[in-house]
Every structure is written in structure tokens, then in C-alpha cells.
Amino acid sequence: MSPRAPSKNTARAKATPKKATPKKATRKTAAPPATQSNLSIVAENGAMRIAPRRASLSQERSRLTRRRLVRAATRLWNERGFEQGFDDTTVEEIARAAGVTKGTFYFHFAAKNDILLELGWATADGLYNEATRSVAAGRSGLAIVDQLLLSLARRVESTPRAAIVRVVVEFYGQGIIAGRLPGRRGIWDSLGVALEAAREQGELPATVEIEDLSRSITALAMDALLSWANGDNRRLRTVLRSRAEILINGAAVTAPARQRRSTSAR
């Protein structure tokens, strides 16, 4: 049987190639060009991450330099006898003993007297840190007041009396005892922390004015320091405690009376 010849339709189908199905093009998202505005944002963000660390390191170096200058000055003054040594010691000698230049000294302090103020601020900072730690530990507020006065007495009694006179006089002379400097804590701030805790714990009436009481205790404490430095032979801690006790007891008595008058006036 002879093979059957292919039909015209079959031959046409074989001759016509199949059209390939076109593939969908994948759209690629191009990265945004690095414009000047983008670069500035990156730089700005980078600066925001780096700047705080640099600022912190710079502040720490500044604190260390100030501390070295204070230590060098007090060492020289004490070696030469404070009363005479303070007047005789020059800024150049203090800077040399601290291992810095005279210009560095004046960058941190305007004059030798400012080092005396720095001694006072350092004491106040130490007392404030002590107060906040004790409050966080849950101690009695009035017990913390007593503790702070004891710490103050210890610090003062380990310092030459002539130095205490100059420090207190310097604070009074610049009006710091009665005022407040931005970024600085005074002894009244540490006492305020303790007294506020005492009020919250019920050891003091709720109507006691903490700011007034802490300022009053500080003023009497400064007077006690001057008396001690000028030859008062009584133990400083005893005098400080006695004066604070008088004020605190007086505040505890007068606060309820003040509250009653305020209530009756309404």
C-alpha cells in the first residue's frame, strides 16, 4: 500500500514556525542618584552619631584638666602655708605644676580665686551625689540631712582653716550663697533632696517650704564654717547638727499653724 501524501493543510502547518511567547520584562528599580541633598543628609546623620561622643570626650578632658589645676594649686598653697602661699603662688607656677600652659589655666579659670570657688563646688557636688544615692536606697530623709552635715564637717576639718575662710568669703562676695548659678549645685541642693524625702516620708509637714528651709540651713552652716575657721574650738559637726535641728524643729512646728491660718482664711 503506497504511503498517503500529506494534505496541503498539514504541510502548511509544518512550514509555519510557532511564534514564541514574549517574556514580560522585569522592571528594575534604579537606586536614587546620590544628589547633593542626599549626601548632606548622610553627613548630617553621621555627625549626629559622632558629635555626642566627641562632646562627651571633650567634656571629660576638660574636667580632668580643671581637676589637675585645682590639685596643683592646693598642693602649692599648702606646701607654702596657705595664708602666705595663696598670695605668693603665681598662675605660671600652678600651670607648670599641673603640666599645662598658662593659656590653658586662663581657659578654665579667670583668676586664682576661681579655684577657691571650684573647691566649694566640688564639695557641693559630692554632697549632692551622696544625698541622691541615700534617697534611692530608701533611707530616712532627716537621717540623710544628718549624714550630709557630718560629711561636710569631715571635708572642712581636713582643709586648712585659712582656706575655708577664703572659700566662704569668696562665695559670699560673689553673691553665690543667696543666688543660683546655671549648671551648678550648691549645698542647699543636696539638703533639699534630703528634706524633700523627709516631707514625702511624713517626717516633715506637707506645708514645709523645702527651698526656704534648705537655704536657711545652708546659711547657718556657712556661718558655722567661718566661726570654726576663725578659731571656734567646738566640734564643727556638733555645731552644724545643732543649728540644723533648731531650724527643722521650728519648721515642723510652724508649718501646721501656717496651714491652719490658710484654711481658716478660706
Whether the CB-CB separation of 167 and 119 falls below 8 Å is answered with yes
> What does pTM read for this prediction?
0.70
* pLDDT tens, N- to C-terminus, the chain (266 residues): 444 555 555 445 444 555 555 555 555 445 445 444 443 333 444 544 545 566 677 778 888 999 999 999 999 999 999 888 999 999 999 999 999 999 999 999 999 989 988 888 899 999 999 999 999 999 999 999 999 999 999 999 988 899 999 888 888 777 665 556 667 888 999 999 999 999 999 999 999 999 999 999 999 999 999 999 999 999 999 999 999 999 999 998 876 555 544 444 45
Give residue 173's pLDDT: 73
Give me 143's grid cell.
537621717
Three-state SS for 173-202 is HCCCCCCCCCCCCCHHHHHHHHHHHHHHCC
Residue 52, CA atoms < 13 Å, CB-side half-sphere: 4
What are the backbone angles phi and psi of residue 94, rounded to the nearest 5°? Answer: -65, -45
Contacts of 162 (CB under 8 A, 6+ apart): 82, 83, 86, 229
Question: Is it true that 48-109 and 111-266 share their CATH fold?
Answer: no
Give residue 22's pLDDT: 52
Burial class of 73 by CB neighbour count within 10 A (0 to 12, 13 to 18, 19+)? buried
Whether the CB-CB separation of 135 and 194 falls below 8 Å is answered with yes
What DSSP character marks residue 19?
P
- From the list 251, 247, 146, the residue with the least C-alpha distance to 191 is 146
Alpha carbon separation from 41 to 47, 63, 69, 73, 79 (Å, rounded): 10, 33, 41, 47, 57
CATH architecture of the domain formed by 111-266: Orthogonal Bundle (1.10)
**Helix, strand, coil shares of the chain as percentages rounded to 5?**
70, 0, 30
Q: What is the CATH number of domain 48-109?
A: 1.10.10.60
Give the rounded distance of the alpha carbon of 53 from its chain centre.
17
Alpha carbon distance 60, 67 (integer Å): 11
Domain range summary for the chain, segments of one domain joined by +: 48-109, 111-266
Give residue 252's pLDDT: 86
Give the rounded distance of the alpha carbon of 196 from its chain centre.
19
Give residue 43's pLDDT: 42
What DSSP character marks residue 235?
-
Alpha carbon distance 208, 199 (integer Å): 8
118-151: b (≥16 Cβ within 10 Å) or e: bbbbebbeebbebbbebbeeebbbbebbbbbbeb
The model's pLDDT over 80-137, given as tens digits with 9 standing for 90+, comes to 998 889 999 999 999 999 999 999 999 999 999 899 888 888 999 999 999 999 999 9
- From the list 132, 123, 131, the residue with the least C-alpha distance to 171 is 123
